[in-house]
Amino acid sequence: MTRLSRPRRLAAVAVIALCAVTTAACSSSSDDPAGGGGGTYLVWDPYPQFADDSDWVALLKKCGTSAGVTVERTGYDTTDLTNKALLAAQQGNSPDVLVVDNPVISTLAEAGALTTTEENKLDVSSMEANLLGAGQSEGKTYGVPIGANTLALYYNKDLLDGAGVDPGSIKDWTSLTAALTKVKAAGKKGITFSAIGTEEGSFQFLPWFWGSGAQLTSLDSAQAVSALTLWTDWLKQGHAPNSVINNTQTTSWQEFATGEYAFAENGTWQLGNAEKLGFGYGTIAIPASTGGPAPAPTGGEFVSIPVQSDAGRYATTQQLVTCLTSADNLLTTDATLSYVAPVAAVQERQVAADPKLKVWVEAVKVARGRTGDNLGTKYPKISEPLWTAVQAALSGTKTPQEALAAAQAAASNG
């Protein structure tokens, strides 16, 4: 072999260095599946808390094996996942299976990044209609719910006993506020929730908003004003701490965990932590203004099948997703995630195994999808003005009336 001259050698080094910098240019894309069977199927989910030895990943592998493929799974932070999914769709390298927070489905569907159930042949007939709603737009269904969570009121049993409040007596807003007054008289704090200026804030306000009879299409209705007035008055009267304006659902839970608060509005996902509280707890449905349970928004993820350039992959992906959402597997997955199953039959099995879930199953039954009612991608344009209005009223910048009028104006402009 002839020795390269010095300049030549340097040039070669430079080319290698350039290649290293612009990897995409020098590498060839090589994730071609081996025909119909076999190959690697990518799954993205928003559960970074689950390591490779978790039940969730074991289930993914098992479903892969029964479909005759290898599953490669990546867990992303949930806020990160939306951007990752959009970018992947833009670059044409979407995963085969995307597990994603339900309100994101309408955004990704709008982007044309997801297949419909007509295309991917997923069977969604057993799913509860109110849960499936979040994944539907203009008569098409873009995914299948893997589990649902929603909001309810956790209460501190010991504290309520001390204050002489019977949680069973709380049926509507009047009786709830009366309970808060009693708690305050007993020298304790009333209720904590999250009214932060993000989607979380809207998520937490919606049970009260919907519970008043208000609709997302009319943010400044008298009912909507009554819901925001309820929250604002709680702050004014000291039933709720001022910190709720900046509380995430996690910090709100931490406040409740101090044992100083009688009630906390929080989600199904806290059930695991609730067992670790240093006091007795219970849950009641969030009451509607005139009684009965208020419709809370549904949380939880959908399993979707992103668009692939190779349509031949859908058949195997469909097997994978069907396996993930089969009754037995839903039971396991939803137990790990502390979610309520999206199928009535599985819900019954959940309650039979753990009667404490009854409140949650009932709350999920009356819950509503945020992007449902054909709002779809209009929802984000409504939600942002709504959480801004909540913040404006709670911080005293505007009256509930003014704040919601401004929100409605912003929502109709957007």
Partner 1 sequence: MTPPTRTRRWPAWAFLAPVTGYLVAFYAYPLYRNVELSLREYTVRSFVQGGAPFAGLDNYRTVLSDPTFWPTLAHTLVFTGGSLAFQFTFGMALALFFHQHFPLSRTLRALILVPWLLPLIVSASTWSWLLNSDSGLVNAALGVVGIEPVHWLTSPGWSLASVTIANIWIGIPFNLVVLYSGLQAIPAEVYEASALDGATGWQRFWSITLPLLRPVSAITLLLGLIYTLKVFDIIWIMTKGGPTGSSATLAIWSYRLSFGNLLPEFGPGAAIGNLLIVMALVAGLLYIRLERRQHLR
Residue ranges that bind partner 1, judged by CB under 8 A: 6-7, 10-11, 13-15, 17-18, 21-22, 79, 82-83, 86, 89-90, 103-104, 106-108, 110-113, 196-199, 241-243, 245-246, 255, 258, 377, 379-381, 383-384, 388, 391-392, 394-397
φ/ψ of 5, rounded to 5, equals -70, 160
CB atoms within 10 A of CB 396: 12
CB of 377 to partner 1, least distance (A): 5
CB of 374 to partner 1, least distance (A): 15
The alpha carbon of residue 310 and the mean position of all alpha carbons in its chain are separated, in whole angstroms, by 30
Closer to partner 1 by CB, 223 or 395: give it: 395
Closer to partner 1 by CB, 56 or 234: give it: 234
Closer to partner 1 by CB, 18 or 315: give it: 18
Residues comprising the chain, all counted: 414
Angle between helices 379-394 and 222-236 (to 10 degrees): 40
Q: How far apart are CA 247 and CA 254, in angstroms?
A: 10
Closer to partner 1 by CB, 65 or 243: give it: 243
CB of 315 to partner 1, least distance (A): 24
CB of 126 to partner 1, least distance (A): 27
CB of 235 to partner 1, least distance (A): 10
Tokens read off for 132: 């499936």
- Contact between 242 and 193 (Cβ < 8 Å): no
The neighbouring-strand residues paired with 287 are 293
Closer to partner 1 by CB, 248 or 336: give it: 248
Closer to partner 1 by CB, 92 or 292: give it: 92
Closer to partner 1 by CB, 145 or 293: give it: 145
CB of 140 to partner 1, least distance (A): 15
Closer to partner 1 by CB, 14 or 222: give it: 14
CB of 241 to partner 1, least distance (A): 4
CB of 113 to partner 1, least distance (A): 5
CB of 401 to partner 1, least distance (A): 16
Closer to partner 1 by CB, 195 or 357: give it: 195
CB of 184 to partner 1, least distance (A): 14
CB of 6 to partner 1, least distance (A): 7
Closer to partner 1 by CB, 160 or 390: give it: 390
Q: How far apart are CA 43 and CA 303, in angstroms?
A: 10
The alpha carbon of residue 114 and the mean position of all alpha carbons in its chain are separated, in whole angstroms, by 18
Residue with tokens 């690697």: 40
φ/ψ of 284, rounded to 5, equals -130, 155
